[in-house]
């Protein structure tokens, strides 16, 4: 992990097209601004972890979900092949 010290108004650049700017510092809280292309997903870590846990719970509560998804994908491929779609 790279650790950098930054002051209010200073920016960190990641790659060629992502910038992280320190907007404000209030005690233990830091407000950051992130400028990145739309195709770059940005989400707080705790939200990402919550989504992953919810997705895991959803798949565990549905028996044979993977088998059912594979069967649906196969049916879609077969239907596409019959219609001449690749």
Mean of all residue pLDDT scores within the chain: 87
C-alpha 24/C-alpha 30 separation (Å) is 6
> Which pLDDT score, from 0 to 100, does residue 55 have?
83
SS3 state of residue 56: helix
C-alpha 79/C-alpha 82 separation (Å) is 5
Q: What is the dihedral of CA 43, 47, 53, 58, to 10 degrees?
A: -80
pLDDT per residue as tens digits for the range 33-63: 999 999 999 999 999 999 988 888 777 766 6
Looking at the DSSP bridge assignments, the partners of residue 12 are 20
Q: How confident is the model at residue 71 (pLDDT cuts 50, 70, 90)?
A: confident
> Which pLDDT score, from 0 to 100, does residue 62 have?
64
User: For the chain, what's the residue count?
Assistant: 86
């Amino acid at each position: 992990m790279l650790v950098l010290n930054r002051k209010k108004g200073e920016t960190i650049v990641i790659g060629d097209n992502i910038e992280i700017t320190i907007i404000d510092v209030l005690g233990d809280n830091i407000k950051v601004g992130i400028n990145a292309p739309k195709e770059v997903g940005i989400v707080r870590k705790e939200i990402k972890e919550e989504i992953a846990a919810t997705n895991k719970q959803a798949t565990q509560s549905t028996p044979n979900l993977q088998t059912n998804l594979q069967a649906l994908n196969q049916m879609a491929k077969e239907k596409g092949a019959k219609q001449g779609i690749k």
